[in-house]
Chain A
């Protein structure tokens, strides 16, 4: 178990740890943003309340990871969240994708099926990751995982309920869900990967290997899909590896919004 001070003294350990922390932070930061764009637009008011609570939790998780990076000497957490360019971001491409056509303030024709599938798949992957991180060799990250895991239990329950309910409903819901599952699976590989430094992360005991985690995710999915009238297509990384800095223009426009006020004066106190 290493403390922040010990991690800072070990160059190689610190670099690999930071890689993992950036992935965790950037994933949550961008998916919390995509979720928050739904505010006032969810299928019913109860969902608006629940979803905005989940987004708030998730943004809180991102803030925890950015703080861990700050503690490792990476600079101010707000600057890490708001000041980095798209090419420096490590989030999965799937998580930056827009919710659908339109803008969050004008004619948002957002796709609820896509949102349910993306959030469910992501919450499941995140849950598996947290379980593994509880035993991380980096103590502050293991502590954070315990805290995050408690909230994640409810997120997962929430999305799993939506997922199975819509997948088994009458009407056009199952067809929409099938399409969404295909769309999400095509890029889900980008969420499951630990990126170019994945093997080193496992070797340093920061997290278990990508293979082990992916296998766990697959077996959870198999259980959920078994009674459903649809199957899980092969998971791919169609649009590239966000962990290596590959991103789409959706991330650029998201970052413009997310940092609009911050960039008016990055050194001011807001």
Chain B
């Protein structure tokens, strides 16, 4: 009681210093704890984007849910997209708690998405025209997601760290599901094998973009410094991209596939991969909802939202018959 009272009497600067002290010694911040406004805003942006990306991320695979070529594959991809939706829900709940003091709800998250103010991940703006893409999304996109999400497992914000723990565990299954599809195609017929190479060629640039620009100077904006300062993440975008390349380049090559970048090589002295930079101008356009599939996928969600307005009305407190 006395600590709470004295805490209330602290100046904003003192509260901030106390907060930094807490996160620096590894304390977890909880939803009702005092936090600096920019910490809250950074988390809301990060987590609502993460949550909505999980939800939008189900759409590229949606096409392949019924088309999966066997009962086992159908069950596998159905389980995967259900997980993704579940992650989206879990994360939106975390974001909602953070938004509560601002008087905002999930409704605002959805409206922000529809207006284009809330961005979703660059990879989910891209087309997935073959079954090879369905496999590659599981294998490499989920593989990349595991790397970025593992980087935040020790996040200073407790509810996010706990959600990520569960999400990462499930993502490992997704990557295995994707890998199994890719392996079957790699060992398959002359018609099946090219499906993987075509998918790699299509997705390579997006996979590099996945980790974001190396610094703010590339695209004019990057939150990575703030998120590192606040102990939400530990590694930079470039470090994560290098981890991804370390892990997956040998695997891709071992399947007899090529990577569509003839400049790609490992610089032993620097201990890192040298690669052709993706077109970061294109990246900016993609996340501004000007990617090849941005409009179609947003349209799907907007159509569903409008079409189900009567259901929301029926479920609202005013809609129920007492």
Q: Assess whether A44 is in contact with B300, with CB atoms less than 8 Å apart.
A: no
Q: Assess whether A170 is in contact with B319, with CB atoms less than 8 Å apart.
A: yes
Quick one: which of A82, A106, A170 contacts B296, CB cutoff 8 A?
A106
Residue A264, interface by CB 8 Å: yes
Give complex CA distance A131, B86 in Å: 31
Complex contacts, A37 vs chain B, CB 8 Å: 66
Residue B16, interface by CB 8 Å: no
Residue B318, interface by CB 8 Å: yes
Quick one: which of B69, B296, B318 contacts A261, CB cutoff 8 A?
B69
Complex contacts, A166 vs chain B, CB 8 Å: 311, 314
Check A78/B81 contact, CB under 8 A, given A43-B311, A45-B92, A170-B320: no
A-B contact count (CB 8 A): 158
Give complex CA distance A110, B66 in Å: 17
Quick one: which of A44, A102, A169 contacts B319, CB cutoff 8 A?
A169
Residue B301, interface by CB 8 Å: yes
Q: Assess whether B86 is in contact with A56, with CB atoms less than 8 Å apart.
A: no
Q: Assess whether A39 is in contact with B62, with CB atoms less than 8 Å apart.
A: yes
Closest Cβ of chain B to A188, distance in Å, is: 23
What is the interface residue range for chain B against chain A? 35 or more
Residue A172, interface by CB 8 Å: yes
Complex contacts, A170 vs chain B, CB 8 Å: 314, 318-321
Residue A33, interface by CB 8 Å: yes
Give complex CA distance A176, B307 in Å: 13
Complex contacts, B74 vs chain A, CB 8 Å: 59
Complex contacts, A234 vs chain B, CB 8 Å: none
Residue B35, interface by CB 8 Å: no
Residue B88, interface by CB 8 Å: yes
Residue A71, interface by CB 8 Å: no
Q: Assess whether B192 is in contact with A49, with CB atoms less than 8 Å apart.
A: no
Give complex CA distance A52, B89 in Å: 13
Closest Cβ of chain A to B166, distance in Å, is: 13
Give complex CA distance A81, B311 in Å: 34
Q: Assess whether B78 is in contact with A55, with CB atoms less than 8 Å apart.
A: yes
| Interface class of chain B by DSSP | helix
Please encode chain A, from 79 to 109, with 1 for each CB lying within 8 Å of some chain B CB and 0 for all others.
0011000000000000000000010111111
Q: Assess whether B310 is in contact with A172, with CB atoms less than 8 Å apart.
A: yes
Give complex CA distance A51, B33 in Å: 35
Complex contacts, A107 vs chain B, CB 8 Å: 299, 303
Give complex CA distance A260, B189 in Å: 17
Residue A257, interface by CB 8 Å: yes
Residue B140, interface by CB 8 Å: no
Chain A residue with the shortest CB-CB distance to B73? A270
Q: Assess whether A265 is in contact with B192, with CB atoms less than 8 Å apart.
A: yes
Residue B214, interface by CB 8 Å: no
Give complex CA distance A264, B195 in Å: 12
Q: Assess whether A262 is in contact with B300, with CB atoms less than 8 Å apart.
A: no
Most buried by A among B81, B88, B318: B81
Q: How many residues of A contact B (CB 8 A)?
A: 54
Q: Assess whether A109 is in contact with B311, with CB atoms less than 8 Å apart.
A: no
Q: Which of A37-53 contact B (CB under 8 A)?
A: 37, 39-46, 48-49, 52-53
Q: Assess whether A171 is in contact with B82, with CB atoms less than 8 Å apart.
A: no
Chain B residue with the shortest CB-CB distance to A266? B69
Give complex CA distance A41, B192 in Å: 31
Complex contacts, B79 vs chain A, CB 8 Å: 56
Complex contacts, A43 vs chain B, CB 8 Å: 308, 311-312, 315
Q: Which of B55-107 contact A (CB under 8 A)?
A: 55, 58-59, 62-75, 78-79, 81-82, 85-86, 88-89, 92
Complex contacts, A77 vs chain B, CB 8 Å: 71
Residue B131, interface by CB 8 Å: yes
Quick one: which of B58, B71, B192, B299 contacts A268, CB cutoff 8 A?
B192
Complex contacts, A169 vs chain B, CB 8 Å: 313-315, 319-321
Give complex CA distance A265, B318 in Å: 54
Q: Assess whether B85 is in contact with A60, with CB atoms less than 8 Å apart.
A: no
Closest Cβ of chain A to B58, distance in Å, is: 5
Residue B188, interface by CB 8 Å: yes
Q: Assess whether B187 is in contact with A42, with CB atoms less than 8 Å apart.
A: no
Residue A20, interface by CB 8 Å: no
A residues near B (Cβ < 8 Å) are: 33, 36-37, 39-46, 48-49, 52-53, 55-56, 59-60, 62-63, 66, 77-78, 81-82, 102, 104-110, 112, 165-166, 168-173, 176, 257-258, 260-262, 264-265, 268-270
Q: List 14 A-B contacts (CB under 8 A).
A: A36-B66, A39-B58, A41-B300, A44-B312, A45-B55, A45-B85, A48-B58, A49-B85, A52-B85, A77-B71, A78-B70, A82-B70, A108-B300, A257-B66
B residues near A (Cβ < 8 Å) are: 55, 58-59, 62-75, 78-79, 81-82, 85-86, 88-89, 92, 131, 181, 184-185, 187-189, 191-192, 296, 299-301, 303-304, 307-308, 310-315, 318-321
Q: A49-B89, A171-B314, A258-B67 are in contact. List 14 more A-B contacts (CB 8 A).
A: A41-B300, A41-B308, A43-B308, A45-B88, A48-B89, A56-B78, A106-B300, A110-B307, A165-B315, A165-B320, A173-B319, A261-B68, A265-B189, A270-B69
